């Protein structure tokens, strides 16, 4: 009798991946929260630190330099690793991945569509489901082949970013005076839940189109492939500490240098086209380098077993990554949107950053207590129920 598909048991989990997920959740929240807490037209831009050296401008600049794209890249790598890990372990047990993984991806896509319209228009779960499908179809490729394919996707993504954000940047800048933008701001900040959902849906459809033709989705597909490849090459093993150290040292050094140079250029009104292209290229490459540096630094932290209480709490936060990702969007909506407290536009950028720190701290505390009781996150439970037969999911959850 063939074995049935089941989730990964707690004893099989790799702690470094959970810690990385927990850390990535903070960075994602810091980047996403201004899109919820600030007027839409304002959140899509940001003052230059050189044009206006204020706390507002420096917060925008530092979030762009240290957070934007970096933690989404980590999250994408981890999704790729998670898919490869589940598929490889299923096949090792004699279970065909097609018996459960298509359902898993369909459920993820449904979560994303609902999140985008009901909660936050910047959802990434639907693009993740699409990228996961590509990786699922390529799962039998060797790690080397996956890395070559990833390099191709990255080249396309970076090239499109350079063209659209550098050469045609002015065509995508909204000065905040457009009537449609003002109407969307009003629906989100003070409209009813239905009015806000219609606005979120409109923004999301435009974002899906734009991200598909520019860089975001190309980068996601590339990082999914990189995640699967490096996992199969043993990156997550404690024995790979020398690789982690090199990634931390070189990634942080190169990434901070490139992002620092980009920060000097970014937002200056007198920049010509070629300097804008250089700015975008520095930001794209610096983001990839910093992502590798962050991953290496977190892996070293896990290997050295320091600050165990904090590390364990962050790992438990990462074990509830889906619940915490959706949860931080729900909480932010209740604080800022019209169907909640309606505080959108009432906070400065530093204030929004502080709110994000508070939300994340609460998530870490709750996740630590929740997982310590042997429970799984509510959305993780639902995802399992939609992916696996009922008995399999319950049995795995109790192990």
Encode pLDDT of 60-81 as tens digits: 889 999 999 899 999 999 988 9
Query: pTM surpassing 0.85?
Result: yes
pLDDT of res. 315: 95
In a domain, 1, yes or no: no
HSE toward the beta carbon, residue 194, CA cutoff 13 A: 0
Name residues of the chain where pLDDT drops below 70: 1-13, 41, 43-53, 166-179, 211-216, 267, 269, 389-399
Provide the number of structural domains found in the chain: 1
In a domain, 253, yes or no: yes
pLDDT of res. 241: 84
In a domain, 293, yes or no: yes
In a domain, 4, yes or no: no
In a domain, 15, yes or no: yes
Whose structure tokens read 């150290």? 245
In a domain, 2, yes or no: no
pLDDT of res. 182: 79
In a domain, 61, yes or no: yes
Q: What is the extent of the structural domain holding 207?
A: 10-397
In a domain, 295, yes or no: yes
176: left (phi over 0), alpha (psi -120 to 50) or beta: left
pLDDT of res. 10: 54
pLDDT of res. 394: 44
10: left (phi over 0), alpha (psi -120 to 50) or beta: alpha
Range list of H helices, the chain: 15-37, 40-43, 55-66, 70-92, 101-118, 125-137, 143-161, 179-190, 193-213, 216-232, 241-265, 273-304, 308-319, 321-336, 349-372, 378-387, 390-397
Cα–Cα distance between 78 and 84 in angstroms, integer?
A: 10
């Amino acid at each position: 009798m063939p074995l049935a598909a089941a989730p990964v048991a707690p004893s099989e989990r790799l702690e470094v991946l959970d810690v990385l997920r927990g850390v990535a959740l903070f960075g994602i929240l810091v980047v996403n929260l201004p899109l919820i807490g600030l007027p839409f037209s304002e959140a899509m831009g940001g003052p230059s630190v050189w044009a206006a050296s204020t706390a507002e401008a420096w917060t925008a600049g530092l979030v762009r330099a240290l957070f934007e794209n970096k933690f989404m890249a980590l999250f994408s790598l981890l999704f790729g690793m998670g898919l490869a890990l589940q598929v490889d372990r299923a096949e090792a047990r004699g279970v065909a991945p097609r018996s459960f993984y298509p359902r898993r991806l369909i459920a993820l896509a449904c979560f994303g569509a609902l999140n985008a319209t009901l909660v936050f228009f910047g959802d990434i779960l639907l693009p993740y489901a699409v990228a996961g499908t590509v990786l699922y179809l390529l799962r039998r490729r060797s790690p080397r082949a996956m890395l070559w394919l990833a390099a191709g996707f990255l080249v396309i993504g970076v090239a499109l970013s350079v063209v659209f954000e550098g050469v045609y940047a002015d065509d995508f800048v909204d000065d905040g005076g457009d009537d449609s933008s003002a109407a969307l701001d009003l629906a989100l900040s003070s409209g009813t839940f239905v009015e806000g959902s219609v606005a979120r849906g409109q923004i999301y459809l435009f974002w899906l189109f734009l991200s598909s033709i520019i860089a975001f989705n190309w980068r996601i597909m590339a990082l999914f492939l990189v995640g699967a490849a490096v996992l199969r090459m043993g990156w997550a093993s404690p024995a790979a500490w020398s690789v982690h150290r090199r990634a931390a040292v070189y990634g942080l050094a190169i990434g901070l240098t490139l992002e620092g140079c980009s920060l000097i250029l970014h937002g200056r009104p007198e920049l010509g086209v070629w300097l804008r292209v250089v700015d975008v290229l520095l930001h794209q490459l610096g983001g990839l380098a910093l992502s590798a540096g962050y991953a290496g630094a977190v892996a070293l932290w896990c290997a050295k077993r320091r600050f165990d209480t904090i590390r364990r709490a962050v790992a438990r936060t990462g074990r509830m990554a889906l619940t915490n990702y959706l949860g931080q969007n729900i909480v932010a909506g209740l604080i800022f949107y019209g169907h909640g407290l309606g505080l959108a536009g009432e906070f400065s950028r530093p204030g929004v950053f502080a709110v994000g720190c508070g939300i994340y701290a609460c998530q870490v505390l709750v996740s630590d207590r929740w997982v310590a009781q042997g429970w799984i996150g509510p959305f993780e439970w639902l995802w399992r129920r939609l992916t696996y037969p009922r008995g399999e999911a319950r049995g795995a959850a109790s192990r």
